[in-house]
Amino acid sequence: MLQGQARIVVLAGAGLSAASGVPTFRDAQTGHWATFRPEDLATSEAFMRDPQMVWRWYLSRRETIGQVSPNAGHDALTRWQRERDVTIITQNVDGLQQRAGGTVTEFHGNLFVDLCFEEHRVLSATEQHPGEPPRCVHCDAYVRPGVVWFGENIPTHAMREAEHAVDHCDIFVSVGTSSLVYPAAGFAEAALRRGARFIEINPEETPLSSLADHRLAEPAQIALPALVDALLSR
């Protein structure tokens, strides 16, 4: 299936970065949301309610991710992309695929970008105030992270790129995502409707597992290097 001129789309989720030491979201013991409810952290309402708490959570994640490195799964995807027609849509906001040299569509934004909460402009400088999130130098609004929270639209350019890639792919590969969050979780079925084949890489089953033409029930950092080595050595 994956040989030759196949146009391949890879949709990545938090499981791809797990081996780097970045917690996934929904793992009951170690996930980001093991001790918080997502709606208390990853919504604009949560930020308005308690900006300092939400900002501190994102700062601690910036710190964690700043100290880790891409893993063998990211490296394998980059090698694959350099040799074949592979589009990577990542839901991950950690920038690790980019640090591994990959080109990605950032579907849920980027943790390291500062945005003005009111006007959504990207900020290169911010004003620091002790005990609260920094403020926008233009309008004094709070600064927020450049990620997509629940209830917010996917950035237009990311949605357009992803839809175009999904509409034109022969193979759709979902790796390390629970396939619970829309609209990303709808792409596999959209690709299937257009006649593409669907491969899922995840040690655990997801709501989409039964639709997969092939399931690799293995961690991404094991399955991806093995797959890409086999493909590129032919």
Q: At what angle do helices 220-232 and 72-83 cross, to 10 degrees?
A: 30
Q: Which stretch binds ligand BJW (CB under 6 A): 45-53, 122-130, 131-139, 216-224?
A: 216-224
Angle at 92 between CA 181 and CA 146, to 5 degrees: 95
Q: Using CA atoms, how far apart are residues 133 and 143, in angstroms rounded to an integer?
A: 6
By CB under 6 A, name the one of 20, 24, 97, 110 that touches ligand BJW. Answer: 24
- Tell me if residue 168 is catalytic: no
Under rule CB under 6 A, residue 146 binds ligand BJW: no
Q: Using CA atoms, how far apart are residues 231 and 234, in angstroms rounded to an integer?
A: 6
Q: Are 134 and 114 in contact (CB under 8 A)?
A: yes
Ramachandran quadrant class, 23 (left: phi over 0; alpha: psi -120 to 50; beta: rest): beta
By CB under 6 A, name the one of 39, 52, 121, 151 that touches ligand BJW. Answer: 151
Tell the smallest beta-carbon distance from residue 42 to ligand BJW (Å).
Answer: 4
By CB under 6 A, name the one of 46, 54, 116, 181 that touches ligand BJW. Answer: 181
Tell the smallest beta-carbon distance from residue 94 to ligand BJW (Å).
Answer: 8
Strands 104-106 and 86-90: parallel
Which residues here bind ligand BJW, judged by CB under 6 A? 13-15, 18-19, 24-26, 31, 42, 91, 93, 108, 147-148, 150-153, 176-178, 180-183, 202-204, 206, 219-221
**Catalytically active residues, by annotation:** 108
